[in-house]
Amino acid sequence: MRAWLPLLATVLLLAAAPARAAHAYAQFGDVKYPPGFAHFDYVDPKAPKGGEIRMVPPTRPTNFDKFNPFTLKGTAPYGLASLLFDTLLVGNLDEPTTAYGLLAEDVQVAPDGRSATFRLHPAARFHDGKPVLAADVAHSFRTLTSKLAAPQYRTIFAEVKQAVEEGERTVRFDFASANPELPLVVGGMPVFSRAWGAGKPFDQVVSDVPIGSGPYRIANPRMGRDITYQRDPDYWARELPVRRGHWNFDRISFKIYLDETSRFEGLKAGEFDFMREFISRNWARQYTGRQFASGELAKRAFPNRNPGDFQGYVFNLRKPKFQDVRVRQALGLALDFEWMNRQLFYNLYKRVDGYFPNSDFQAKGLPGPDELALLEPLRGKLRPEVFGPAPLSPSTAPPRSLRGNLREAQRLLAEAGWTYRDGALRNAKGEPFVIEFLNDQPSLVRVVGPFQKSLEKLGIQLVYRVVDFSLAKQKLDQFDFEATTVRLPGSTSPGSELIERFGAEAAKTPGSSNLWGIADPAVDALLQKVVSARTRPELAAAMRALDRVLSHGHYSVPQYYGSDFLIGYRPGRFVLPPSIPPYYDAHGWAMSTWWASASNR
């Protein structure tokens, strides 16, 4: 799901059963913690408060220029949405599809599944001391679905018809269909005060400090690069079971570095305490020396049971050169992952197959009966290959070779009308095949280089264009690019965020995650099967069918993923909880459940 959307789900209520309020909401009925539970198992409820954790974001922002994370233009500081805004429901890290009441004291789903009603906790308060009321929840929904907010929210909430205030602390969401995932979507919506922005148009709410109800506030609200969040000692939910043992640091800071070298030097110099490493070369070669030998710094791979991330090169189908599937398939044959993993990545990575690797949602082999039941009605809209084996990413492991793959690529390109002449691969008009690769990370040149060389052997010129983060974001939001690279975190509870990522409507919505421009009626039909699944097996079948169709579309060149979180940190400044939860994000888990050592308080 999207970054601001916690892991959520709903208590499954049979259509014939009467509506009833519940403390939790589990899409497939698997609620671990009963009413009145004390705390989640993976936290220490007696963890002391105090101290600070200083981190660097896992993404690559530069200066931030707004405090509103919900509008399209500009860049908000990392962590703001999750630390300042509470939601109606909140997920946990040891159940993939269950959420519990936070702002909402309880939730009930109508017998026909077409609405969900949330009763707000009477103690819920915004940072200005005013109560969180149904009017604030309805206002948040109407604002996020207006044209003044980032357009992806209209896609996410497309099937939510309205928010109705049924009382001062009761709000009902009406749905366009009996989609069991929709209560998750509204349950994960960030709620903010009606007073935020003092009545200005929402897209002009830029420097106004958000009025949320989350555990932290901005310590020093000035635009810049680094930001510190201060724990609210009067946080209204600090003793709720879903928050007990959480948010233990008095301060959470994020420091921004403009290049990898200065960032790593900052870790060694003690400028911050926690960093996730994404580059295998750095992990293998830099995390050594006196500070690591003495224990002042630690290098640790944290295991998890998360689905693998999808990482790959993305083609913009809005450009004519990428619209032929044979061209896209040929480009994929030019990537030699096996050589790169040996020579560049110290064999730390695994190859990505499909869009949902290392999960129950990954298509494998021939489609089973459950997938065929979904694919057969769409046969007229699908390529025949979809009904065959799921494609695996091209390999150069013997008996395959890069030379053989490039020969196959050359054949596919010729079929698509691209032939080599006059020193370049050209189409029937004589236009050379040139790809501009847009990115904001200069260090990726060494990774893109081998791919670039292979494309040269086909007569294709790949031009690597490095721009700063803000310009890259602007160009991607406007779909003004030819090719780029993306990393999509795996999810244990995929749902409506996939519509915003792969849906046809999102393809024409600036700012959406559908960078490819995929607009396929078969994909749209399968996305609806995903969000309407009522059992875990139904969800898995719909996801595998979707993965199969997307993979056969060859919209991306799949790359690689790591199965562990590679973390460098200062162990003397922290105490970790007694157990590592199975499903977590490294930054979120550390800042929400770790606590400061005695010397750091």
Q: Where are the domains of the chain?
A: 24-43+53-224+232-243, 310-561
The answer to whether the Cα torsion of 254, 259, 264, 268 is positive or negative is negative
User: Strand 52-55 to strand 24-26: parallel, antiparallel, or no bridges (unpaired)?
Assistant: unpaired
Measure the CA–CA gap between 73 and 75, rounded to whole angstroms: 7
- Which residues in 239-267 are b (16+ Cβ under 10 Å) and which e? ebbbbbbbbbbbbbbbbbbeebeebbebb
Mean pLDDT on 340-363:
93
**530 Cβ contact partners less than 8 Å away, ≥ 6 residues apart:** 494, 495, 498, 539, 542, 543, 546
Q: Tokens in use for 29? A: 């009925």
Mean per-residue pLDDT for 193-221? 96
Give 7 or 119, the one with higher predicted confidence.
Answer: 119
H/E element, 94:
none
pLDDT over threshold 90, residue 14: no
**Cα–Cα dist 60/440, whole Å:** 8
* CA 502 centroid distance within chain: 14
Average pLDDT value for residue range 117-132:
98
> Who wins on pLDDT, 578 or 371?
371
What pLDDT is recorded for position 179?
A: 85
Count, residues in the chain: 601
Q: The CATH number of 310-561 is which of 3.30.830.10, 3.40.50.720, 3.10.105.10, 3.40.50.300? A: 3.10.105.10
Q: Is the pLDDT of residue 449 over 90?
A: yes
In this predicted structure, the answer to whether residue 353 has a pLDDT above a threshold of 60 is yes
Q: Do 26 and 245 meet the contact criterion of CB atoms below 8 Å apart?
A: no
Considering the chain, what percentage of its residues have pLDDT values greater than 90?
Answer: 81
**How far apart (Å, rounded) are the C-alpha atoms in residues 418 and 237?**
62
Residue 382 gets which letter from DSSP?
Answer: S
pLDDT in tens, 240-249: 999 999 999 9
The DSSP secondary-structure symbol of 300 reads E
Give the H/E segment covering residue 226: none
More confident position, 101 or 490: 101
CATH class of 24-43+53-224+232-243: alpha beta
Q: How far apart are CA 182 and CA 174, in angstroms?
A: 9
**Distance of alpha carbon 59 from the chain centroid:** 11
Q: What is the pLDDT of residue 260?
A: 84
Give 446's contacts (C-beta < 8 A, 6+ positions apart): 344
SS3 576: coil
Mean pLDDT of the chain: 92
Model confidence over 247-278: pLDDT tens digits? 999 999 999 998 888 999 999 999 999 999 98
Residue 2: closest CA among 131, 188, 162, 169: 188
Spell out the alpha helix ranges (H) of 129-201. Answer: 134-144, 152-156, 182-187
| CA nearest neighbour of 495 among 461, 519, 523, 530 | 530
Where in 493-580 does DSSP place strands (E)? 556-558, 560-561, 565-569, 574-575
On the question of pLDDT at 9 being above 80, the answer is no
Number of neighbours of residue 218 by Cβ within 10 angstroms: 18
Is the backbone of residue 333 left (phi > 0), alpha (psi -120 to 50) or beta?
alpha
pTM value is 0.82
Q: What is residue 63's predicted lDDT score, i.e. its pLDDT?
A: 80
Instruction: Please determine, for residue 313, whether its predicted confidence score (pLDDT) is greater than 50.
Output: yes
Per-residue model confidence as pLDDT tens digits over 132-153 = 999 999 999 999 999 999 998 9
What span, in angstroms and rounded, lies between the C-alpha atoms of 332 and 309?
18
Q: Which residues of 526-554 are buried (b: 16+ CB within 10 A; e: fewer)?
A: bbebbbbbbebebbbbbbbbbbbbbbbbb
Residue 279 has pLDDT above 90, yes or no: no
Quick check: 16 pLDDT over 60?
no
The pLDDT of residue 62: 66
In this structure, the dihedral spanned by the alpha carbons of residues 275, 277, 278 and 284, taken in order and rounded to 10 degrees, is 170
Whether 425 has a pLDDT exceeding 80, the answer reads yes
End-to-end Cα distance, the chain: 35
**pLDDT given for residue 5 in this prediction:** 37
β-strands 89-91, 98-101: how paired? antiparallel
Question: What average pLDDT does the segment 323-345 reach?
Answer: 97
Grade residue 433 by pLDDT with cuts at 50, 70 and 90.
very high
What is the distance between the alpha carbons of residues 247 and 369, in angstroms, rounded to a whole number?
A: 46
Q: Is the dihedral of CA 436, 442, 443, 445 positive or negative?
A: positive
Q: Does the pLDDT of residue 214 top 90, yes or no?
A: yes
Residue 20 is predicted with a pLDDT of 57
Characterize the bridge pairing of strands 556-558 and 310-315.
Answer: antiparallel
Per the CB < 8 A criterion, the answer to whether 490 and 359 are in contact is yes
**Non-local CB neighbours of 6 within 8 Å, separated by 6+ positions:** 87, 89, 90, 91, 99, 188
Whether 13 shows a pLDDT value over 50: the answer reads: no
Q: Is the pLDDT of residue 309 over 70?
A: yes
Q: Please answer whether residues 521 and 381 qualify as being in contact, where contact means their C-beta atoms are separated by less than 8 angstroms.
A: yes
Q: What is the pLDDT of residue 492?
A: 85
Q: ω before 399 within 30° of 0 (cis)?
A: yes
Q: What is the C-alpha separation between 216 and 251, in angstroms, rounded? A: 8
Structure tokens at 479: 């779909």
Q: Which pLDDT score, from 0 to 100, does residue 4 have?
A: 37
Are 24-43+53-224+232-243 and 310-561 in the same CATH fold? no
In this predicted structure, what is the pLDDT of residue 12? Answer: 29
